[in-house]
Amino acid sequence: MRVLGRVEECERRFPAYGGLPGRSESTAVAPHHSAASFRRGPVLWLILCGVLLVAAITVSTALIIGQFRERALSNSERELENTVLLLTRHFDQQFEDADILATDLIAKMQFAGSASPEIFSSEMSTYDAHLMLKSKASVLSYIGDVNIYNSDGQLINSSGGWPLADVNVAGREYFGGLKSNRELKLTLGEPVQSYFTGKPTTVIAHRLSGLDGVFLGVMARRIDSANFQNFFASVVLGDGAAISMFHRDGTLLARYPHADAMIGHKLKTAPLLEKVRSEGGLQTLRFESGVDQQDRLGSAAPLGRFPIIVVATSTVAVVLSDWRAQTRFMVAAAVLSALVIAFILFLIVRQVNRQNQQSQQQLASEKHRLDTALNNMTQGLVLYDKSARMVICNQRYIDMCGLSANVVKPGCHFLDVVRHRKETGSFEGNVEEFCSNILQNIAQGKITHTIMEAADGRSFDVVNKPLAHGGWVATIEDITERRHVEQERDRNYSFLRQIIDHIPTQITVKDVRDRRYVLVNRVAETQFGLSRDEIVGKTAPDLYPKAAADAIAADDEKALQSPEGLFLDISPWQSQALGQRFITSRRIGIPDHAGQTRYIINIVDDVTDRRRADEKIAHLAHYDALTDLPNRVLFRERIEQELQRACRGQQFALLYIDVDEFKGINDSLGHHVGDELLKAVAGRIRDCIRDTDHIARLGGDEFAVIQTDVANSRDVVDFVTRIHEAIRQPYECLGHQLMTDASIGIALAPQDGTDLDQLIKNADLAMYGAKANGRRTYRFFEPAMDAHAKARLSLERDLRQALVDGAFEIHYQPVVDLGSDQVTGCEALLRWRHPERGMISPAEFIPVAEETGLIVELGEWVLRTACAEAAGWPAHVRLAVNVSPVQLKCTTLALKIASALAVSGLPANRLELEITEAVLIRDDETALAILHQLRAIGIRIALDDFGTGYSSLSYLKRFPFDKIKIDRCFVEDITEIGGSSVIVQAVVNIAAARNMTTTAEGVETSGQKEVLRGLGCTEMQGYLFSAAKPSSEVRRLFGADGSENVSAVA
């Protein structure tokens, strides 16, 4: 409004001219403008003449400089072209001389005797031929050595050093081309790295043919880039000049100045070479060099007979160096002339301007005050007269509305201005309607205030105020930024409100003065069970019972008294909507500008779920997740408690319970069925115990029970009987009818131990004793169990040491053919010679080796050693090796056996692997797959101890065994009436029907032998012929032909 007041003041001061001085410029100030124009006319003509004179000097200087430049370039082009022509003639002559030498050499080498490549190679590889080549090649020093290669590309002679280097060029492209193309006599090879010098070189190669055209070899001459570079150096044209030799494909062969890194490489861009290849002859071009990336002027021409292009270039900078010196002189002269003219004009114009300035000062001072006001306004301003035509507007108005100064200027109509604003996008709406309303309000003397939105999103505040003497003044202010700030403030408030609402913690804010709630979030609404509108404006007594409201008020007062606020740890809280909850609360005072606490913010975190999770974690730390029984940790604590009571004379029993055959059920029916079975077993054991007893699951299928207040062992037996009866009842698990039992070990306290770990170990030993007795039973702990466990541990330790010390031996028991009494094989039997206990039976240490997994390493040693020793036996004697079920679980068994055969040299058909039915009982599909792999490589498979299992016949059907070994239990009574002869006969018949051999084990008498022979048994094995013997002794049983009389041996 201050600006409008100043406009009105100007109107009052200049009433004769319609208000503002701007209106009078076309009338009152017209004589002043005419006088000024009259004074400025001669000055303008004088300046124009000076400018024309300077322009003439500039143009003439530029023309002369251009002519001198073209002349310098033309002279350099002629010099380069002459150089290229001289070089091409020189190199054409040199290559022609070299070609004459090559023709002479070829004529000497292609004589009638060289009818074949072999003869040619023989005759051209002599020292005389070397001397001949050396004498011929010495004539042309600029060509490298002459090398002769035979039809295989092997160097057979050279004019260079003697003896020859071992060089073969069969892989070179030029050699392959000459060899395959009978019509090709001469070729220029691709640039390659020389086998002789190790540097890039180019080869000229000639085909050497016999009289009938047969390919005899190649004569090659090396073009060393160094020779040409030295020659180029002698004829180089001066600074910045370069002479190069290129292969026609663009590969750089030689250059001076040297560019070793580029020799042998093709240039990516070579416009001069491309022009020569496309148009031929001598060509001159200005281009950027692909070698040193300088702007060069160059000429190039091809040689006559070879695909070589000679290029001579000079940098444009050197060519134009003299021209630049001349240019600098001429430009300096022209500039000096122009400066003299400009200085004279300056003196004249300065004098005229001094006179003009005096006449303009008065007008400038009159306009200065208004111009300052208008140009420093933050608003746009425009003044219209009473006919709605513009009188004046400031630049701010034009800039804000994006108007054109050619359209918006004094004299234009208000309607035209608004239309122009419509075009520029600074006005939205109907132009005619807007103008009509403004003019109507101005006519009525009303001030209008309008907020207008532009198309580009800006906002304007427009004020139109009528003037006393007609017309009006309009101001426009860009309020876009201010509105953005207001909108940003609203958005920030909404954003913060959304954040608070989505914080998963209850937040409430109360006014300190009246303790009314002024803000709550959504979580608070949920906790209160009320909507936001029902909470805001209320106090705690309005929403809570009196006791709760008093507690809230007390906590608020404590928070106000503490500078750090008030924090309440986990405490119970009765939520009206959610019931009993556990919360933590923090109250903080929020000060105002004066530093006085104005609000209390209360942050309440519902930790109910976390507290319950902590309780669950604490429970899981001591209880089994599957059965919810106490786990090993809690059970140990309860054993400790019972041991303390035992010290006061009370006795209890510790039971270790292992579910029999659980692994088979779990593996065959799945873990989900196994888990259901464990939960059912746990429930039945729990039903058997008293309130004073304790039960736990120790892991897997093992449970433990503490039977308290035990008077005697009879109490324990009755208790164990109840548990067995409960466990043996049928189970219904996920649609499966299951039966199971348990092995139970019992340790009594305090007689079996007063130490926790000792008592647990004794109960565990008793349980394993029950399992060793056939399972489905119970055992009380006995001191002998501990001794047995220690002995087994000692045996396991000695077994590991024996593997390290090599304390094992292999004995061999012969297998005799019942038809011929000939030894047909030997079974490898492992023996362990203990340093203290002497020879230990395999029946004692093999089960330990299988349980500990040592059988895998032990079995590999047996295989390697037995195969190595059997390789020296007669060819018809086979080796039989027993394979443990544990070994057959290893999927790489076939590879290990194949490796042992390969190392020893023993044929696969001489190795026979003996397996028992136990191999196929648990995981028969996997075992059968491994057996098929072994049989596929030629190894024989025998079924050992046939007839002792429950599924022998089914496995004969599923796998084609090569042999059946009849167990000794069927052989012992075979000679007795009612003995096993009928069973053996059945086995022999089955084997014969399936093309299997049969071997009877444990034959100790001649009578047994004869009965077996009569029944058709194929082989026998036993003490009748020989016991197992070391390798050195068993060889004596083979005899000269491998046969031995059984009776004589026996």
pLDDT in tens, 831-843: 998 888 888 888 8
For 384, residues 6+ apart whose C-beta sits below 8 A from its C-beta are 390, 391, 414, 471, 472, 473, 474
What is the C-alpha separation between 151 and 120, in angstroms, rounded? 9
**What is the enclosing helix (H) or strand (E) of 749?**
strand 742-749
CATH number at residue 509: 3.30.450.20
CATH number at residue 981: 3.20.20.450
Q: Are residues 635 and 588 in the same domain?
A: no
Average pLDDT of the chain?
Answer: 82
Which of 226, 261, 293 marks a domain boundary? Answer: 226
Residue indicated by tokens 């234009």? 412
For 900, residues 6+ apart whose C-beta sits below 8 A from its C-beta are 860, 863, 864, 867, 906
CATH number at residue 678: 3.30.70.270
Higher local confidence (pLDDT), 793 or 190: 793
CA distance to 16, 480, 481, 491, per residue, from 488 (Å):
51, 12, 10, 5
What is the widest separation between alpha-carbon atoms in the chain?
Answer: 163
The residue type at 667: D
What is the C-alpha separation between 1016 and 729, in angstroms, rounded? 50
Tell me, yes or no, whether 44 lies in a domain: no
Tell me, yes or no, whether 97 lies in a domain: no
What is the C-alpha separation between 913 and 376, in angstroms, rounded? 110
What is the pLDDT at residue 15? 41
Which among 176, 184, 223 has a CA at the least distance from the CA of 201?
A: 223
For residue 865, what are its two tokens? 């050693």
Tell me, yes or no, whether 434 lies in a domain: yes
Q: Are residues 762 and 883 in the same domain?
A: no
Tell me, yes or no, whether 103 lies in a domain: no
CA atoms within 13 A on the CB side of 29: 17
Residue 677: other Cβ atoms inside 10 A: 22
Q: Are residues 899 and 1001 in the same domain?
A: yes
Q: Are residues 154 and 199 in the same domain?
A: yes
Q: Report which listed range, 136-145, 795-804, 864-873, is most confident.
A: 864-873
CA atoms within 13 A on the CB side of 940: 20
The stretch 1022-1032 carries a mean pLDDT of: 91
DSSP state of 781: -
Note the helical H segments in 252-315.
271-279
Q: Are residues 606 and 631 in the same domain?
A: no
Name the band, by pLDDT with cuts 50, 70 and 90, for residue 142. Answer: low
Structural domains in the chain (count): 5
Q: Are residues 541 and 689 in the same domain?
A: no
DSSP state of 884: -
For 935, residues 6+ apart whose C-beta sits below 8 A from its C-beta are 941, 960, 962
SS (H, E, C) 753-776: CCCHHHHHHHHHHHHHHHHHCCCC
Tell me, yes or no, whether 929 lies in a domain: yes
Peptide bond between residue 191 and the one before it cis (omega within 30 degrees of 0): no
Which among 948, 918, 914, 951 has a CA at the least distance from the CA of 934?
A: 914
Peptide bond between residue 163 and the one before it cis (omega within 30 degrees of 0): yes
For 633, residues 6+ apart whose C-beta sits below 8 A from its C-beta are 621, 622
Tell me, yes or no, whether 632 lies in a domain: yes
Name the band, by pLDDT with cuts 50, 70 and 90, for residue 270. Answer: confident
Starting at the earlier edge strand, list the strands of the sheet with 295-302: 252-256, 241-247, 308-315, 295-302, 283-288
Sign of CA dihedral 692, 693, 698, 701: negative
Peptide bond between residue 750 and the one before it cis (omega within 30 degrees of 0): yes
Which among 298, 334, 297 has a CA at the least distance from the CA of 69?
A: 297
What is the C-alpha separation between 864 and 870, in angstroms, rounded? 10
For 687, residues 6+ apart whose C-beta sits below 8 A from its C-beta are 726
SS (H, E, C) 21-66: HHHHCCCCCHHHHHHHHHHHHHHHHHHHHHHHHHHHHHHHHHHHHH
Residues in the chain: 1050
Q: Are residues 921 and 1009 in the same domain?
A: yes
Cβ contact 214:221 at 8 Å: no
What is the C-alpha separation between 540 and 551, in angstroms, rounded? 10
The stretch 95-109 carries a mean pLDDT of: 72
Which of 170, 195, 226 marks a domain boundary? Answer: 226
Residue 766 clears pLDDT 60, i.e. is over it: yes
pLDDT digits (tens, 9 = 90+) for 323-353: 888 888 888 888 888 888 888 888 877 877 7
Name the band, by pLDDT with cuts 50, 70 and 90, for residue 25. Answer: very low
Which among 484, 485, 524 has a CA at the least distance from the CA of 501?
A: 524
Residue indicated by tokens 């008793």? 766
For helices 127-137 and 30-109, angle between their N-to-C axes, nearest 10 degrees:
140
Its pTM stands at 0.41
Q: Are residues 866 and 1000 in the same domain?
A: yes
What is the C-alpha separation between 939 and 912, in angstroms, rounded? 6
Which of 226, 242, 272 marks a domain boundary? Answer: 226
Q: Report which listed range, 74-83, 142-151, 860-869, 937-946, is most confident.
A: 860-869
Higher local confidence (pLDDT), 301 or 195: 301
Domain residue limits at 467: 379-480
The stretch 186-194 carries a mean pLDDT of: 72
For residue 1016, what are its two tokens? 């058709």
What is the pairing mode between strands 186-188 and 200-209? antiparallel
What is the C-alpha separation between 546 and 539, in angstroms, rounded? 12
Q: Are residues 1014 and 907 in the same domain?
A: yes
DSSP state of 730: -
Which among 530, 998, 1041 has a CA at the least distance from the CA of 823?
A: 1041
Q: Are residues 992 and 876 in the same domain?
A: yes
**Residue 258 phi, psi (nearest 5):** -65, 145
Cβ contact 420:408 at 8 Å: yes
The stretch 917-938 carries a mean pLDDT of: 77
The residue type at 804: V
Name the band, by pLDDT with cuts 50, 70 and 90, for residue 1032. Answer: confident
Residue 783 clears pLDDT 90, i.e. is over it: no
Strand spans (E) along 892-1018? 911-915, 940-946, 963-966, 997-1001
Of 528-532, 733-737, 969-973, which gets the smallest average pLDDT?
A: 528-532
Q: Are residues 826 and 967 in the same domain?
A: yes
Tell me, yes or no, whether 658 lies in a domain: yes
Q: Are residues 474 and 514 in the same domain?
A: no
What is the C-alpha separation between 264 and 193, in angstroms, rounded? 8
Higher local confidence (pLDDT), 705 or 371: 705
The stretch 165-177 carries a mean pLDDT of: 83
**Residue 913 phi, psi (nearest 5):** -100, 130
DSSP of 823-848: EEEEEEEEEEEETTTEEEPHHHHHHH
Name the band, by pLDDT with cuts 50, 70 and 90, for residue 75. Answer: confident
Cβ contact 600:510 at 8 Å: yes
DSSP state of 154: B
**Residue 906 phi, psi (nearest 5):** -75, 125
What is the pLDDT at residue 5? 52
Starting at the earlier edge strand, list the strands of the sheet with 597-606: 517-520, 506-511, 597-606, 579-591, 566-575
What is the pLDDT at residue 363? 67
What is the pLDDT at residue 810? 94
What is the C-alpha separation between 72 and 69, in angstroms, rounded? 5
Tell me, yes or no, whether 32 lies in a domain: no
What is the C-alpha separation between 88 and 377, in angstroms, rounded? 81
What is the C-alpha separation between 858 and 828, in angstroms, rounded? 13
